């Protein structure tokens, strides 16, 4: 998914507070077109302004190691 802060992220767990604001792991900065260390983000946390902008098709990301990205995101 694409976040409002121009990062790609993977939803890793549901939020305990708001169903449509899951916990995600951000791993790619679109602005700089580069990977970043995985960062866990609870979109339902108080004061959090980052939100989901759109769902992205994983195939459109063109990451050769997409399966590794999923596994590492789930490990957090």
- pTM recorded for the entire structure: 0.82
Domain containing 69 equals 2-75
**What is the signed CA dihedral for 55, 25, 6, 53, rounded to 10 degrees?**
30
Number of domains forming the structure of the chain: 1
pLDDT tens string, the chain, 76 residues long: the values are: 999 999 999 888 998 778 889 999 999 999 998 988 889 999 999 999 999 999 988 778 777 777 777 777 666 5
């Amino acid at each position: 998914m694409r976040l409002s802060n121009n990062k790609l992220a993977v939803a890793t767990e549901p939020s305990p507070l708001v169903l449509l604001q899951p916990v995600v792991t951000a791993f790619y900065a679109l602005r700089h077109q580069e990977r970043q260390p995985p960062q866990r983000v609870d979109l339902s946390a108080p004061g959090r302004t980052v939100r989901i902008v759109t769902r992205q098709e994983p195939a459109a990301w063109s990451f050769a190691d997409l399966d590794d990205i999923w596994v590492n995101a789930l490990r957090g």
